[in-house]
Structures are given as C-alpha cells and as structure tokens.
C-alpha cells in the first residue's frame, strides 16, 4: 500500500475507475515527493487546482456583472448596492490577493526560466487594466448613480471587464498553470505551495476557500441567482445578447403577447 502525507487525508475504499484515479495520484505524489495544499476540510489541492478554483469564484461573481450589463431575458438586473458588493469582492479576491500572488510569486518563476515571457507580460498588463476597470465599476456602483440609467452607464465597463477576464483566465488555465511543474525545481515548487497556503490563511482566515464560496453564494442570492438551472435556455425562448460590445444597444426582452 502506497502511503504519502499528501494523500493521507483521502484514505477511503474505492473500486474500479475511482481506485485507478487515486492510485495515479498516489504514484505521482510518491515520485515527486511534493506536498499538496490542504483545504480546511482536509482535501488536498495542488497550486494549479488552487489557482483554478480562485478563477472559478471570480467567474461566478462575473455572472452578476453579466446580468447587469446584458439584462438577459427573464432576469432582473441586480440593484446597484449588490453590484457594488460584487465589485468589492473582485477587488478583495483579485486585486488584493490572486493578482498579487501571481505577480509576486508565480510570474517570476516563468521569467526566471525564460518561458512564456510574452504571455506573462500581457497578463501583467491585463491585471493593471482589470484594476482600473473594476475601480471604476466600484466607484460608479457605490456612488449616487442608480436605476436603469446607472446600469446603462456601467454596462460598457462591466462588459469590457468580463470579456477580458474570461480570456485572461482561459489563457492562464490552458497555458500557464499546466507548465508550473515543468519550470520549477522541487525547492521552488514547495516554496510556492507554502507561500500560497500562508497567503490563503492570512487573507481568508480559518474558513479559507469554503468561506469564500459561501460569500459568493450569498452575493448570487442577493443578485437573484438562486440556482445554476436559471442559465439553461428554455426551448423556444429568445436568446439574449450575453456580452454586448461596448456602446452597442442593450438587448431588450420582447413584449409579451
């Protein structure tokens, strides 16, 4: 039986494909000798899994941005105070945590290795652009502007932010993150894991990622998102423009017969 501290919290009886999956994870851990990050519930996460999970939380917040910008058919745009809360969460999760983690600890590894330097440069530029856009969204949503005119004024900023971050996260997850292990020594990889774990704990406290999931779920409810099923198109229903280009007319729900 293979034993390794990176999988000891996952000990349970599995059969068939599940057994093969766990065995594969155990073999990788035994060969590399690298520990994975541990969530509050005891499950283990690698740096790639942790970074990707942070992206997933951001994309859930972006659902609120999309609702406000596109006014999808059958969905009521979220109130300005909810949009301001969403922008505040983006600032906390991205500007003050995720982007800082990447710029201070992940990107330098690729620059040191001379790998994907052009991509890293673009990602840094997009971090700066994202901060500027989101600061504008936070200021406008938290100001005196309200009602449909406020949402209309915000739409180009919301759309530009969402469009860029969808591309940004896709490139990171498909190109940058999968290459982390290949460009780092065991020492650098372990140092990155420990740094991420320490930053997670310092930023989000004992509840960690699970606590942030709960907060995002509360935001979704306040915005009128009560289930994933809301995003499933109904047969025969008109399809709203999901991400209108800045300056384009906002799609309107057709009149009811």
Q: Tens of pLDDT along the chain (257 residues)?
A: 434 433 333 333 333 333 333 333 333 333 333 444 444 445 557 899 999 999 999 999 999 999 888 765 555 678 899 999 999 999 999 999 999 999 999 999 999 999 999 999 999 999 999 999 999 999 999 874 445 556 778 989 999 999 999 999 999 999 999 999 999 999 999 889 889 888 888 888 877 788 889 999 999 999 989 899 988 988 876 655 444 334 433 333 333 43
Q: Residue 165: phi, psi to the nearest 5?
A: -70, -30
Identify whether 254 is part of a domain.
no
Identify whether 175 is part of a domain.
yes
Contact indicator for 148, 80 with CB cutoff of 8 Å:
no
- Report the domain count for the chain: 1
Contact indicator for 69, 159 with CB cutoff of 8 Å:
yes
Identify whether 81 is part of a domain.
yes
Q: Copy the structure tokens of residue 234.
A: 């109904």
Alpha helices of 95-185 — where are they, by DSSP H? 99-101, 107-113, 117-141, 147-171
84-95 burial code (b ≥16 CB/10 A, e <16): bbbbbbbbebbb
Residue range of the domain that includes 61: 47-226
pTM confidence score: 0.73
Instruction: Give the whole-angstrom CA distance, residue 188 versus residue 195.
Output: 10
Identify whether 123 is part of a domain.
yes
Q: Copy the structure tokens of residue 110.
A: 């690729």
Identify whether 17 is part of a domain.
no
Identify whether 152 is part of a domain.
yes
Report CA-CA distances (Å) from 148 to 114, 152, 155. Answer: 49, 6, 10
Identify whether 63 is part of a domain.
yes
Domain of 130, CATH number, reads: 1.20.120.520
Identify whether 179 is part of a domain.
yes
């Amino acid at each position: 039986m293979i034993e390794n501290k990176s999988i000891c919290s996952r000990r349970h009886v599995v059969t068939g494909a599940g057994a093969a999956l766990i065995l594969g994870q155990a073999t990788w851990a035994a060969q590399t000798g690298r520990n994975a990050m541990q969530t509050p519930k005891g499950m283990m996460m690698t740096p790639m899994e942790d970074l990707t999970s942070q992206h997933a939380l951001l994309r859930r917040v972006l659902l609120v941005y999309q609702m406000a910008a596109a006014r999808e058919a059958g969905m009521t745009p979220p109130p300005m105070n909810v949009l301001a809360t969403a922008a505040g969460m983006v600032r906390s999760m991205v500007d003050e945590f995720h982007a800082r983690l990447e710029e201070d600890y992940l990107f330098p590894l690729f620059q040191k290795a001379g790998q994907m330097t052009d991509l890293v440069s673009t990602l840094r530029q997009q971090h700066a652009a994202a901060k500027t856009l989101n600061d504008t969204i936070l200021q406008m949503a938290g100001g005196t502007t309200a009602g449909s005119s406020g949402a209309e004024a915000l739409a180009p900023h919301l759309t530009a932010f969402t469009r860029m971050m969808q591309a940004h996260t896709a490139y990171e997850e498909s190109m940058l993150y999968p290459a982390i292990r290949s460009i780092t020594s065991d020492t650098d990889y372990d140092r990155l894991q420990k740094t991420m774990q320490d930053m997670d704990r310092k930023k989000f406290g004992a509840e960690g990622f699970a606590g942030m999931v709960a907060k995002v779920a509360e935001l979704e409810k306040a915005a009128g998102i009560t289930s994933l099923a809301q995003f499933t198109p109904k047969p025969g229903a008109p399809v709203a423009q999901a991400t209108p280009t800045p300056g384009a007319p906002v799609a309107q729900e057709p009149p009811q017969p």
